[in-house]
Structure 1
Amino acid sequence: MEKQLKKIALIGQPNVGKSSLFNRIAKQRIAIVSDLAGTTRDIRKHEVEILGKEALMLDTGGIDETNDAIFSNVKRKAVECAKEADIILFMVDGKKIPDDKDKELFYELQNLGKKLALVVNKIDNDKEKERLWSFYEFGIDDNDLFGISVSHNRGTKGLFEWIAQELPEIEDNSKISDIIDYQDLDMGIEDFLSPEDDINKTVNENEINVAIIGRTNVGKSSILNALIGEERSVVSPISGTTIDPVDESFEYKDKKITFVDTAGLRRRGKIEGIEKYALMRTKDMLQKANLALVVLDASEDLVDLDEKIAGLVDQYGLGTIIVLNKWDENIETFKDFEKKIRRKFKFLFYAPIIAVSAKTGRSIERLKDKLVEIYDNYTQRIPTSALNKIIEEAVIRHALPSPNGNYLRIYYATQFETKPPRIALIMNKPNLLHFSYKRYLINYLRDNFNFEGTPIHIIVRKKGEREDNEIDEEGFFQG
């Protein structure tokens, strides 16, 4: 029998942030986010899970009182949607003064007798909370008014709790119980992720998206051709030639390996602003990928641009392999060159280094195997029991510090996300845990689980915490 889910309608004028909130709740980039007013016109539906409870989220088009037939139709659909919903989230722009059109529609929605919240978005800091007073003009109860900032990840925890109170318990909770215990985590782990972080890239487990990055003339196109086994990537000698993005794929060990945006590999030669172009193209590729090959020229010395490009991989949290191309032209020993790389790219200490020759085909098969292996590490989920056993061992071997006499205690740990692996540490005084101890825990995890090639993100938080504070610099750590 088809399950009957409670419906949540998200309603408001254009460009108030509805699509961004929809994406945050759905944990995916489903709704189209744009600064252009009126981007969302159709009603989008998506099953969501809010603090361990399921619902059907309805994102309506922005309502705008104009004579335009499109927006008139959008308003009609939005009101009809609200009538069918069990919960209504009416969203307004906190940067502006209360709008008469908003108040008129809000009163109309109040008469429906549904559970109704007024969500004031773009309250980006504590000072801007003062703007909330003007929105009491709507006649809203204090418990149903929420000042949030979707883009800065503020205040959403209280809103999610308010919604969850109106949703029934999930009969079969197995889907989430092996991921995270929401009661033990005090039902708020989502608020400790940045908006970018908690939007997962929805990728089939058998599909690997790979970005081949590096400065010009290091041999990216040659490596692509060697991996695919065909002369597909044509190098253009014309400076500034614009070529549309092209993806190249091949099957290997039951995986579909796709090299994204390979047009970026085809542009060569001296072009104006080459460094800026290289970084821009790299960002485009990394946005689409979950693994990256950082290609270096073994026949030349490392330069600052190598470091800048590799640093982007760290920012995007991708699985990584460092590839030394043209190794047949290098007379140094591998260990000597490896030391240079490790000194230059300390932030990619977890990435394996493979020396290849695209010209002769040396180690290309090994590189294919390593791509599959790193992706498996990148997507793995450690069982909570095994994870806590290792954390307990680590604490026994190296006791938690006692800063200024404070007693620190880790209650438990849980991995709540993959791609890359993200682990929450629940403890009594998270702000006092020094980053060096987090680094120790990450290294201990690496000693006991195969996380080669992938970063590990650690989030620490206090059990029973209720404040809607932004995460501080010490709250999030990766290594």
Structure 2
Amino acid sequence: MSFTLAIVGRPNVGKSTLFNRLVGKRLALVDDQPGVTRDLREGAARLADLRFTVIDTAGLEEATDESLEGRMRKLTERAVDMADICLFMIDARAGVTPTDQVFAEILRKRSAHVILAANKGEGSAADAGVIEAYSLGLGEPIRLSAEHGEGLNDLYTHLMPLADKFAERAAEDAPEVDVILDEDEDDMDVVPVPTNAKPLQVAVVGRPNAGKSTLINKILGDERLLTGPEAGITRDAISLRIDWAGDDGVPVPMRIFDTAGMRKKAKVQGKLEKLSVGDGLRAVKFAEVVVVLLDAAIPFEQQDLRIADLAEREGRAVIIAVNKWDIEDDKQDKLRDLKESFERLLPQLRGAPLITVSAKTGRGLDRLHAAIMKAYDVWNRRVPTAALNRWLSGMVEAHPPPAPQGKRIKLRYMTQAKTRPPGFVVMCSHPDKVPESYSRYLVNALRIDFDMPGTPIRLYMRGQNDSNPYKGRKKAPPSKLRKHTDGRRSS
């Protein structure tokens, strides 16, 4: 990436729409009501031959106190300080407002490179607003329509000379590095190792106000996400890149998704909240490890169970983390009750790690890191076929499958068909007659005997073709003449 571009402006001027246009995906939530975006969202943008990082910011508010709007403004000001270039957007149809004039003055002082864009500039209704934009003193405005993709050529013309300047500066500052080729690329481990190109995908999910954003800020070591006592602050599923080191000191490339709090479906009424929950569900589907964050004061509500069950049905490695542990008084009894409830209410995730953390103080983050790495390892584990079949023989001998309707079920062969999550296939007779209870018996034993706690396990029963080609025919095949060794024929 050659430079960073921050899109700033009043609420509802089209910043998220332009962000989605530049990254080529509908990453940011877009709605008619103002103030949808609250956190900073980064994306890899592409404009003709330019490649850069674009930041979508919250709408600039005039509040400067510790209210939600004031905290949103502080976060946007941080994005302005971080970015190389600021794209200041106004609404061409509404014209220049007093708020636009205030923020234009702020940007002149805080940013070295400011580009002015008059969005919603399609049609003659925007002519007056585009002309009025000259009064801001930020140069010639770009007439844009983020919704229809108009004016992007003019944006490219303004960005190109600045991109060349930042590219030259980066080339001067870049250290000389000796390139060493790895000659042992073919000898790869079975478990894929997270890299910068393919980091480990971790989604943090839970009910509103469980402390998801606060936990991720503590992991990052920076106030990167908007937090506060209000429930439901996070709306977008924000992904953040980090190299997180555990007790061994080895940094692991990760991409952590902060998701919106998920309430019961019956309570989700507004369109915006439905979009936020849908964004969080997509984050679960694309994640590899899902951390279900609970509140220590009210753990294991029905909604928590639904969220954990969703992650298991999507085939993701699951970790249960209990937040706000620092304010818990009777920790030993509480932990015992939590483990008992977990085993009873979520039998499909038996053995999944249950970690106590404090997002406020940072206690327990080392255990959370270790649990994530172990869950990822188990999720990618492959068991040798020979070991599986020895194990299957012992399981059948200890507890033979039932014979429903007098039909004896023979389990002939077993192999692992896939990983992520582990999936096993058992070749058997009458696969449709195998009871669900017997499949659970095998799955639970697989978890224990091959050390696969918590990860979803898929077990498929498959029929095996019989060697008799005439099986299933109503009539016996006609007899054929056989030749004797002396050449004569007999019937």
Tell me the TM-score normalized by structure 1. Answer: 0.50
Q: Which has the higher contact order (CA 8 A, sep 6+)?
A: 1
Structure showing greater radius of gyration is 2
Tell me the TM-score normalized by structure 2. Answer: 0.49
